[in-house]
Structure formats: C-alpha cells, structure tokens
Amino acid sequence: MSRQKVLELKELSHIYVNASGAHLAVDHIDLTVYKGEFISLVGPSGCGKTTILNMIAGLIAPTYGELTMLGEAITSPSSRLGYMQQQDYLYPWRTILQNVMLGLEIRKEANAQSKQKIISLLDELGLEQSADKYPHQLSGGMRQRVALARTLIIDPDLLLLDEPFSALDLHIKMQLEELVQSTLDRLGKTAILVTHDLAEAVAISDRVVVLGRNPGHIRKIVTIPRELRAAGPIEARKHPSYQACFDEIWYELDEEMERGGKGCRIT
Amino acid sequence: MSNNMIAPLTTLHKQYKDRMRRKSMLVLLTQMILLVGFIAIWEWSSKARIVDPLIFSSPSKIANHLYTSLLDGSILPHIGITVAETIAGFLLGTLLGTLIAALLWWFPFVARVFDPFLVVLNSMPKVALGPLLIVGLGPGFGSIVAITLLVTVIITTINIYNRFRETEEGLLKVATIFGATRFQTFYYVILPAAFPVIISTLKVNVGLAWIGVIVGEFLVARVGLGYLIIYGFQVFNFTLVLSTLVVIAFVATFMYQAVSFLERKVTSGWKDR
C-alpha cells in the first residue's frame, strides 16, 4: 500500500481528572487513517468519541500514547485541521462572508483575493447571494453549509465532523451528507465523523470504527464495500449490500450494550 | 381561482391593520386623557387650596417659571452642566466597568480573589462615599463625575464580566480550532458576543448616573439641576423644585431614547441567536 498516512493513533489513552476523581475515558486506541478516507466513529454514549476527536484536534492532550498527523505530533490546534460541530456556531454579529473569513483573519491570511475565493466557495456549496446576509436570515441546513465553508476555506488536510448533521431534518440531513461527501472527495480531503446514526455511518464511510464504553476502546473496525462508498450517501442506503453492513454494526453495538462495558474506574 | 383568493386576503389584512391601528389610537387617547386629567386636577386642587399650593405649586406656575427661565436663558447653564456630568458619568462608568471586566476575564486568579470584594462593594450604597470624594477631589465637576462613576462602575463590571464568562462554549471552540490567541479570542468572540449586554448596561447606567449626579449636586454644587432643587428647597420655592423635576424628566427620557437608538444601530444585523 502506497497510500499516505494522514493520521496515526498509537495506544492513545486519556484520563480525566476532576474533583470527584480520575476517570479513564479512552483506553489504548490504535488507528491509522489514510489520505482521502472517510472514517466514522460510532458507539454508545460514554465511549469517548468526543474525547478522541478533541485529542486529534489538539484541544486536550493524551495521557498516554502517540498521536501524529502527517508525521508530526499534535500538541495544539493545527492549521491542517478543520472541525465542524453539532451546531453551526456562526457568529450572529458577522455576515456570512465575515463568518467564513474568520479563520483567515485569525491566521492573518486574509488578503485581497480572499473575498472572491469565499464567494466562489459559497457558490459551490449552493449558497449564492448569501454573502452579505446575517446567520439568522438562513435556514438550519444553509447555516451548516456556511459552517462547512468556514472550515474548508483554510484548506485543511483533515476534517473532524462532530455530529454535524444530527440537528437537521432527515431530508436536509441527507442532502448535506451528500454535499459534504462529494465536496471532500473532490478536494481529496480526509475526514473523521462522529455520529449516533448507524445508517449515516454505513452510507457515508470507507470504514466504521465501532467503539465500546467504560473505558472507550475499539470493538471492531468494519470496512464498507467499495460499491457502497462509490454510490454516495443517498444511493448507498438503497444498495443491496447496505443492509448486511448495517446489521453487522448493529450486532456489534447490541453486544456492547448487553455486556455493559469493561467497567474500569480508577479513583 | 387565485384571483378569487386575492381579494379576501387583502381585505383580511386591511381589517387586521385597521384593528391594530384602532387599538393603538385607544391607548394613545387614554394616555392623553390621564395626563391632561392629572394636570387639570392638580391645577384645580391647588387653586381651590385642597392641597397646599406652597408645597405642591401648580402646573400654571411651573409652566410660567419654565417659560421665563428658558426665555431669559437662566436655566440653560444648569441643564448643560448636569447633562455633561451625567453623560461623562455613565460613559466613563460603562467604559471603565468593561475594562475591569476584561481584566478579570484575562486573569481568572484575580477574578477569584476579587469576587467577594465586588459583592460587598455592590451591596454598599456608593453615594455614601460622596463626602470622601468631595474632600479628596474638591467640590465641583470632578467629584460629581466621580460619585456617578462609583455608582455605575461596580454593577457594570459584575454584569459584563458574567456575560464574558457565559460566552457559548461552541463559539469559543470555533476560534480555538483556528488557533486563536487569548487576545484574538477576546477580540473576535468574547467582546462582540457581549455587545448587547454592554449596550443594555449603558441603558441602566443612564438611570444610575442621574442618581449620582443629583446627589452629588445636592452635596456641593453651585450650578446644575440638583443644585436648583436643593436651592429651591432651602428658600421654600417649590415651584422651582418641581419645574426642575419636569426638566430632568424630559432630559433623562431624551437621553434614554438616544441610547436605545444606539442599541438598534449596533445590533441591527443580528436580532436572534
């Protein structure tokens, strides 16, 4: 395999310490993500999905283990990384254009061409004529697309998607999945998606990482057949091999729920 | 079909607008009646000596006094100095309060240390420190603005600092992911997110500043609306006291409206979150 490794997690562990004690949240995660891959993390609540994402984002430091992106250790938020949250968190006091400009301004990369670049990116994402509007004038789906533009404008190598579709209506949600997947494919971006929605994970990903809880650990990594990935999220849901994949992951999660986790708490 | 629909729709809309207009007119009419009725009863009961005209004066005397003092311009310096003191007081109070709030946000340790002191200062009647300031700064403009500042700055600091701290985690995360420094986080997120609260604090401070200014003028001034009130009281000229109150009511309302206008300007783009 000559594929380029974008992200490597080696024996990654994290312990939260607070007034009520120390708590092992994530235990020995090993995962390698290659360029252009779309990875989903699924699992019950308390399985450390968000902790893993925050470590990759450089927001919290791993307690043990190694975490490297394109060969370099991640210690703080990196310019090669984009992050989409559950809600759009557009700044209500900024216009759409100014919202998308934010990352460039913070990095002092804004220049004369930025405005044109943003407008053409907004056009590509189906947001024509909205550059001068304020966030409250847009619908939820449009706002989340602006959030995608805000993430893409700084040209990150890796996108972290923390349930960005979960607050949307089903129809809008599937359209946005389609848009995100095709846009990332076109730009050759790598993505890690955290989701509660198994159907979404199967329809959009190359590989689905099933996590167990207490502490968070990898139960199984399911590779989605190429034909499903190639079909796109909406078509994939109708594909003959879709149900088998879905059932496999469903079974894993069922097992996890019944077993109720490892039950490891260090206090 | 659609043509048939349009006529009743416009009619319904017109009826609705008419109803709303009638309601507003009714409210305005009632307000007018109340005001005119109050003034009429006041005038009549003063003339008929049902209330003591020495204390309660009468609307005609007040109007007459206002007319002459405006005409000869003798009240204008008093209005000017009091308005200047009030504006200086509430602007400085809001500005300084915001600045202190920013420092508290920047240094969480300092914020924790000062928390109980702020609570004590906030519950204290600040005008009680007036005599101290007058001795320290000398009677006049400076000490009156200082009293006003004292009245407004603590509550401003507490309100705005709390708003800074309650900035939504998700908004902050956006900037953090872009690698924002602490100053950038403040400049791009914390401060603009707090603008509505800063403006509404400005509104509250307009009212508080009037208290500070009037009490300050009671204590030391030789000019200003507060001075006119205390002077009128000393010479038992309650027409002067009441007409000064009328002037204060007008000027204070105007100032409040000006700040409301500013509020609408600043937050015009983003009404909701």
- Report whether pLDDT(B270) > 90: no
Asked if A95 lies within 8 A of B176 by C-beta distance, the reply is: no
Query: Where is mean pLDDT largest: A200-209, B94-103, B118-127?
Result: B94-103
- Band (A263; pLDDT cuts 50, 70, 90): very low
Q: Which two tokens mark B260?
A: 């409301």
- Band (A265; pLDDT cuts 50, 70, 90): very low
Contacts of B188 in chain A (CB under 8 A): 91, 102, 105-106
- Report whether pLDDT(A267) > 60: no
Asked if B188 lies within 8 A of A106 by C-beta distance, the reply is: yes
The 10s digit of each residue's pLDDT in A91-112 is 999 999 999 999 999 999 888 8
Q: Across chain B, what does the average pLDDT equal?
A: 90
Report how far residue B233's alpha carbon sits from residue B246's, in angstroms, rounded to the nearest whole number. Answer: 15
Query: What Cα–Cα distance (Å) separates residue A58 from each residue in A81, B54, B173?
Result: 9, 76, 12
- Which one has a higher pLDDT value, B167 or A227? B167
Asked if A92 lies within 8 A of B270 by C-beta distance, the reply is: yes
pLDDT at A236: 87
For residue A79, what is the nearest residue in chain B, using CA coordinates?
B178
pLDDT at A74: 86
pLDDT at B271: 56
- Please report the beta strands in A163-204, taking only residues with DSSP state E, as ranges in sequence order: 190-194
Count Cα neighbours of A84 within 13 Å in the Cβ-side half-sphere: 30
Report how far residue A55's alpha carbon sits from residue A164's, in angstroms, rounded to the nearest whole number. Answer: 18
Contacts of A93 in chain B (CB under 8 A): 192-193, 195, 267, 269-270
Q: Give mean pLDDT, residues A138-148.
A: 92
Contacts of A77 in chain B (CB under 8 A): 176-179
Report how far residue A133's alpha carbon sits from residue A178's, in angstroms, rounded to the nearest whole number. Answer: 25
Q: Give mean pLDDT, residues A254-264.
A: 65
Helices within B166-237 (DSSP H only): 169-177, 182-185, 191-219, 225-234
Contacts of A138 in chain B (CB under 8 A): none
- Report whether pLDDT(B24) > 60: yes
- Band (B2; pLDDT cuts 50, 70, 90): low
- Report whether pLDDT(B272) > 60: no
pLDDT at B5: 60
Query: What residues are paired with A68 via a beta bridge?
Result: A8, A73
B184: contact with A, CB 8 A cutoff: yes
Contacts of A87 in chain B (CB under 8 A): 170
Q: Which of A105, A85, A86, A84 is CA-nearest to residue A94? A: A105
pLDDT at B4: 59
The 10s digit of each residue's pLDDT in A46-62 is 788 889 999 999 999 89
Q: Give mean pLDDT, residues A72-95.
A: 89
Domains of chain A: 1-36+47-70 (3.40.50.300), 81-196 (3.40.50.300), 198-259 (no CATH)
- Report whether pLDDT(A266) > 50: no
The 10s digit of each residue's pLDDT in B197-241 is 998 898 889 989 999 999 999 888 788 999 999 999 999 999 999
Cross-sheet strand order for the sheet of A72-73: A21-34, A5-18, A64-69, A72-73
Q: Give mean pLDDT, residues A215-222.
A: 87
- Which one has a higher pLDDT value, A245 or B174? B174
Q: At what angle do helices A140-152 and A170-187 cross, to 10 degrees?
A: 20
- Band (B3; pLDDT cuts 50, 70, 90): low
Q: Which of A106, A137, A155 to mutate to test the interface with B (most CBs of B within 10 A)?
A: A106
Pairing of strands A217-223, A207-212: antiparallel
Q: How far is B43 from chain A (nearest CA, A)?
A: 52
pLDDT at B167: 94
Lowest mean pLDDT among B24-28, B104-108, B185-189, B219-223: B219-223
Omega of the bond leading into B139 within 30 degrees of 0 (cis): no
Query: Where is mean pLDDT largest: A128-137, B99-108, B254-263?
Result: B99-108
